[in-house]
Structure 1
Amino acid sequence: MMVRTFATLALLFSAGCGGGSAPDSTPPGQTPPTDYFSGKIAYDEMTALLAARFNTAFVPPFVEGMPTAGNASYQGYFLAEIQTDPQTTRLLGLATVNANFDSGTISGAASDFVGVDRTGAMDDYSGGVSMTGGSVGVNRPNDFLLPYSGSLNGNGEIVSLSGTLLGTFKGDPVLGILGEDSAPTTAIDSNPFTGQVNLSALGL
């Protein structure tokens, strides 16, 4: 397995969760996870930090804190969990997402995947996931839809993923984004499986 490092979230997590009135801060960028398990810890911390932030769409005047012009970039993790036996196949990659608030569009990509297959074997996964054709403000000011598709190769298997993430810009001002697809189209070596895909990313 290639040796890679990842930036710890410990300082950011403790600062962000110190109190509800603490201002959102600009986080450092993330780098690829060393392995699935250490990367998943960072993903869980990032997701918990963002989940605790207010959904500004439901706080009057509803659009406060959401940019209406310019661009923003977010970096974090793309997580795919596929329901295989005897263990769930889990893949985690580095995700970068770019939002254009002038055009109301959002796109990105995920790469540098690591994962654990149904036998518990861990490996690096080549390939990547493309996220294109997304829209900001579909049903409310701070939501987004982001289609994705990709193919990953590791542990002697080819994993294909496609679907659409439904997500939210979190925080006031926006600290990051969370996205979820509870019914993706997933397959391993062309055999279909059910699964779930999640995106968690902090602003750069």
Structure 2
Amino acid sequence: MDDTIRTLLETAAADALPVLRGVRDDQLTAPTPCADYDVQGLLDHLFQVVVNFQALADKRDSDFTAAPERLAADRNERFAVEIAELVRVWGAPGAEEGVTGAMNMPARTVGAMALGDLTVHAWDLARATGQPYEPDPALVRMLAAEFGALAPTARAMGVFGEPVPVGEDATPFDALLAETGRDPGWRPSAGA
């Protein structure tokens, strides 16, 4: 597999879309590993992220501060369309070059952030809804390197929590989750 953002996003999408489609309506109020979001809130947030990272690939400004749209019953189709567009725009000539919109960060770094959001939030949703999820190892390796460099800034911005300690036997993906401040062993409580 090549390491372009487009190829990695295609892989991440193939791993994430089955999880997104697998969320049932009766699970929308369930808690997630992201304490600020229930399942509905996390779906809405992820949709907003996908759309904003499209703008950033085009070197346009994004707006992560607006309240996310509340997704309705057509969410599966809308996610499929918008994630396909995310892959397309990150594959456009020059998408990985230069800096992005108002973030003023290297485009490749911002592309890695898009990959990270899709990958980690897919895990959040899978864990919250009892679905299996295992991202591609090549994707995890790339994100581990990128997130290691981004972590101090992400923590200062409140995007990552403090790292969670994991044992030496932790999988690379568990270590990546822990770097973002997630407990890889998180499960919904019995009453949730």
TM-score range, shorter chain: under 0.3
Q: TM-score, normalised by structure 1?
A: 0.26
TM-score with structure 2 length normalisation? Answer: 0.28
Larger radius of gyration: 1
Higher strand proportion (structure 1 or 2): 1
